[in-house]
Amino acid sequence: MAVSVANCSFSVLNASVKLQSSCVSSPWCFVAASQKKSLNLKRKSSRSDSSSPILNPETQKNYPGRVRDDSPNPPQKMAFKAFGSPKKEKKEPLSDFSRDQQTDPGKIHDASFLNAVVKVYCTHTAPDYSLPWQKQRQFTSTGRHVFFIHIAFMIGDGKLLTNAHCVEHDTQVKVKRRGDDRKYVAKVLVRGVDCDIALLSVESEDFWKGAEPLRLGHLPRLQDSVTVVGYPLGGDTISVTKGVVSRIEVTSYAHGSSDLLGIQIDAAINPGNSGGPAFNDQGECIGVAFQVYRSEETENIGYVIPTTVVSHFLTDYERNGKYTGYPCLGVLLQKLENPALRECLKVPTNEGVLVRRVEPTSDASKVLKEGDVIVSFDDLHVGCEGTVPFRSSERIAFRYLISQKFAGDIAELGIIRAGEHKKVQVVLRPRVHLVPYHIDGGQPSYIIVAGLVFTPLSEPLIEEECEDTIGLKLLTKARYSVARFRGEQIVILSQVLANEVNIGYEDMNNQQVLKFNGIPIRNIHHLAHLIDMCKDKYLVFEFEDNYVAVLEREASNSASLCILKDYGIPSERSADLLEPYVDPIDDTQALDQGIGDSPVSNLEIGFDGLVWA
């Protein structure tokens, strides 16, 4: 049975998902107190000299802590600027380990690089998505606060690196160095949800005295030794487990619901390893421990975020002053392994992937059509199995090339359309989710009208309300519908706060609101805008399944004040809805809500021949 492991609350949570009335267990779990739910979480289930990260000598001298991926065919060249040492005047190397110096496994407890590993104490809180006006509620146990313990490690310039899921919804984060009994306050600078990485800072100079940040190593080869450190189940002293690199491939990131490069290892990863570094024999950090795959049929399958993903995250943050996220192409692709299929599409060679669907919100919708065959990406040929060359003698999923890009980058695609070869350029941008997997800022948007509470549908709300309560129709839309324009949301009536004005509407919870006074709803901000502008006598809400709710406008305004007071609600709407409304689309754009014929996430595609890029 698959289990999701909760860090340092010392409990095990069942990561079960529901398929109508059936209950199945998901084997994916990241090592923290979080769970993912979906209709179907089926898992699809010798380094050459060029695999070494050869940096420009001057860059290597100035920034010894950063590396890049030097595969023979990198999709784009990137010079990474490292976070330096916390004391800028300090010029000595950041690590005592050279590339030719091996760490004695028997003396690893004395290795200096372990001193860069710190314990992270978090007081976890979480928004109440079913009561969106609530402040964040704090997890408690027998009336006491529960502290979750994770791991972080020093990368220099007063910065620490850990997993994004380790500092989710936290109001307070403290860190403690190995061998020190003092805790220091840390600040979360930025979280990369899709890559499950977060950056922390510690302002105290005492914390950094004598500190030596870790050196980021190269992408390892198969069977390379790997050492994972952490504080399993909390623990007072550091724990070390060893193993080897079992596989390197594009991997499903459970927390971020994304597909990025991952390193599979057989070293034990347990609660308390989240955010901890994985080392090679030279004492270099080759990645960040973040999730495990558990089932009755498998064992010792852990995953590490490679340093190439870490460097992408840091570079994104340095470039933009914030994290913009990984871009996507926005197309659903089918493999072209069948010769008859290739012949029908007039593809003369054994290459290419078929475009089956293009997301309207992606820039690819301007240049790609269903039926196009993508045969190259930045002049790198794409095989009929959807793979591209990787390092010297390996192949990897085509979407790996997309993950090497940054938001706003341009990719050149070679396509075959009706037998004709073409070259098109596409701007790559982060994917737009109709139903978001995470909510920026933590607090959901809401507006209350005479006791009717409206809020956007989100995966956290589905998880909190339970899939049975949400209903199959809304759940299907969440899994199979893509956004038709940026800013689109599914707005639902999450609950009804009973009073004399809304009598008869008490059982309309979790219904999607489609129209207000005959106008289709585009998002929660649009609904609030329409309500504010309304001068009619009645407020008419039209819901899914032909339900309708009518409120008298003046009576509703009077009732709302009493309801807020009776229920102790500070405001009738969230702060973001106080901002002026900006229409996200042209009025002439069609707004018919439709349900697609394929899942919107690779986690839910049960057929190996289809994949979102």
Q: How far is CA 474 from CA 46, 60, 163, 509, in A?
A: 48, 52, 31, 12
Mean pLDDT highest for which of 70-84, 229-243, 385-399?
Answer: 385-399
In-domain check, residue 214: no
Rounded to two decimals, what is the model's pTM? 0.78
pLDDT of residue 144: 40
Range of the domain at 246: 224-320
What CATH number has the domain bearing residue 348? 2.30.42.10
Which of 428, 458, 480 terminates a domain? The answer is: 428
Considering the chain, what percentage of its residues have pLDDT values greater than 90?
Answer: 46
Instruction: Indicate whether 600 belongs to any domain.
Output: no
User: Residue 526 is part of a domain; what is its CATH number?
Assistant: 3.20.190.20
Q: What is the DSSP letter of 484?
A: S
As for how many domains the chain has, the answer is 4
What CA–CA distance (Å, rounded) separates 211 from 127?
36
pLDDT tens digits, one per residue of 289-298: 999 888 777 7
**Average pLDDT of the residues in 216-236:** 88
pLDDT tens digits, residue range 152-170?
999 988 899 999 988 876 6
pLDDT at 404 over 70: yes
Is 145 part of a structural domain of the chain?
Answer: yes
Q: Are 263 and 374 in a shared domain?
A: no
Dig out the tokens for 370 from the structure.
């269903």
For the chain, give percent helix, strand, coil, nearest 5: 20, 35, 50
pLDDT in the model for residue 476: 86
What confidence score (pLDDT) does residue 327 get? Answer: 94
* pLDDT, greater one: 366 or 471: 366
Query: Are 470 and 551 members of one domain?
Result: yes
Helix/strand/coil (H, E, C) string of 61-85? Answer: HHCCCCCCCCCCCCCCCCCCCCCCC
Indicate whether 264 and 305 sit together in one domain.
yes
Does 413 share its domain with 350?
Answer: yes
The pLDDT assigned to 70 comes to 46
Domain assignment of residue 308, yes or no: yes
Residue 508 pLDDT greater than 70, yes or no = yes
Residues 572 and 462 in one domain: yes
Domain contains 77: no
* Cα–Cα distance, 94 to 82 (Å, whole number): 12
Query: Domain boundary residue among 320, 352, 372?
Result: 320
Residue type present at position 560:
S
Which positions are catalytic?
165, 196, 274
* Of 251, 265, 258, nearest in space to 44 by CA: 251
What's the mean per-residue pLDDT of the chain?
Answer: 78
Q: Are residues 527 and 504 in the same domain?
A: yes
What distance lies between CA 416 and its chain's CA centroid?
33
Q: Given this model, what pLDDT does residue 326 score?
A: 94
> What are the tokens at 590?
């069609």
- Indicate whether 442 belongs to any domain: no
Position 181 scores a pLDDT of 87
Q: What is the CATH number of the domain that holds 281?
A: 2.40.10.10
Identify the H or E element spanning 261.
strand 258-265
Co-location of 536 and 559 in the same domain: yes
* Confidence category of residue 324, pLDDT binned at 50, 70, 90: very high
Residue in 42, 172, 168, 154 with CA at minimum distance from that of residue 437: 168
| 440 pLDDT more than 80 | no
Task: For residues 122-134, give the mean pLDDT.
Answer: 65
Q: Final residue of a domain: which of 320, 346, 367?
A: 320
| Residue 406: other Cβ atoms inside 10 A | 17
Residue 609 lies in a domain: no
> 231 and 190: one domain?
no
- Do 310 and 252 share a domain, yes or no? yes
Question: Percentage of the chain with pLDDT > 70?
Answer: 72
On the question of pLDDT at 270 being above 70, the answer is yes
Is the predicted pLDDT of residue 185 greater than 60, yes or no?
yes
Same domain? For 454 and 571 the reply is yes
Judgement on whether residues 469 and 554 belong to the same structural domain of the protein: yes
Evaluate whether residue 106 is within a structural domain: no
Judged against a pLDDT cut of 70, whether residue 22 lies above it is answered with: no
Q: For residues 283 and 115, give the distance between their C-alpha atoms in angstroms, rounded to a whole number.
A: 12
pLDDT score of 126: 61
Q: What is the pLDDT of residues 410-433, one digit of tens each?
A: 999 999 999 999 999 999 999 998
Same domain, 470 and 558: yes
For residue 134, what pLDDT band results from cuts at 50, 70 and 90? low
Least reliable range by pLDDT among 82-86, 213-217, 457-461: 82-86
